[in-house]
Amino acid sequence: MASPLPPLPDSRTEPDGSAVIRVLGYNVRSLHDDEDALARVVRACAPDVVFVQEAPRFFRWRKHAARLAAKSGLLVLGGGATAAGPLLLCLPRVTVERAEDVLLPLTPGLHRRGLATAVVRIGGARLGLVSCHLSLRRDERYAQAGLLLDRLAALGVPHAVVGGDINERPGGPAFRRLAGELQDCRAVRPWGGEHTWPAHAPDRRIDALYATKGVEVLGCGVPAGLPGVTGADLAAATDHLPVLAALRVPAAP
């Protein structure tokens, strides 16, 4: 059994208008595993926003995404099949300014990849969101990291969070390309576990949350040992472990 974790800040709006938020990154393997266990993990993490990878993409995919959101106490913000798998979920208190699904260039013979993006307001903060799932091939993965950074800049917001399955460890070129422009939240303020895959015996960190430089990272890691998150549920939910972070986002001007 995992040891209890030190407390992670809860979501709140500060007197200065800044917002403390919780964000969760999670590869759900197209909901092929125990969906109820998955929803229990998400609810226990109490996120404002969930960056989902491998959301259902085929038959009745919208219905499946809506069911997961409902079981988790969340709403579908954007993404899914129209983003080739990345999905964004959020609490009802999140105000959505705009959302856009982006398909990345297709390499013949490889899986199509995309981005689920949005600009939202939470409390007094305004920020961009990008959920991503990068290629299994090294050269394509590196190029996709650059396209992701370009899309992030095009959102036109000073603060943003990226969540994704990078399919690469922190020493890899795509991971380093993202971490060179953004904060790798786990590296900045470690909390909880480190490794995210495979869920039954994790030995590598290939899933990550990143934030722009103006966002304060209060803690980030795998929430094994968080109250309500059991080892049985983590093993049954999907083949990846989730990454949870608490962030303080400055108030919008």
Q: Is 170 helix (H, G, I), strand (E, B) or coil?
A: coil
pLDDT for res 125: 97
- pLDDT recorded at residue 2: 57
What SS3 state is found at 122?
Answer: strand
**Residue extents of the structural domains in the chain:** 19-249
**49-105, pLDDT tens digit by residue?**
999 999 999 989 999 999 999 999 999 999 999 999 999 999 999 999 999 999 999
Instruction: Give the pTM.
Output: 0.97
CATH 3.60.10.10, applies to 19-249: yes
Structure confidence at residue 90 (pLDDT): 98
Give the HSE-up count for residue 67: Cα atoms under 13 Å, Cβ half-sphere: 12
Place of tokens 């934030």: 211
SS3 50: strand
Residue 42 has which token pair?
């998400």
Task: Give the pLDDT of residue 121.
Answer: 98
Query: Which residue positions in the chain have pLDDT lower than 70?
Result: 1-3
Q: What is the pLDDT of residue 3?
A: 64
- Cα(60)–Cα(45) distance, integer angstroms: 27
Task: Give CA–CA dist 120/122, Å, rounded.
Answer: 7
Residue 214, pLDDT score: 96
In Å, what is the CA distance from 149 to each residue of 31, 115, 132, 238? 28, 11, 11, 28
Q: What is the DSSP letter of 108?
A: T
Q: How far is CA 89 from the centre of its chain?
A: 9
Between the alpha carbon of residue 96 and those of residues 23, 41, 66, 243, 248, the distances in Å are 16, 24, 17, 23, 19
Contact 82, 101 (CB under 8 A): yes
Instruction: Please give the pLDDT value at position 4.
Output: 74
Helix, strand and coil in the chain, % to nearest 5:
25, 35, 40
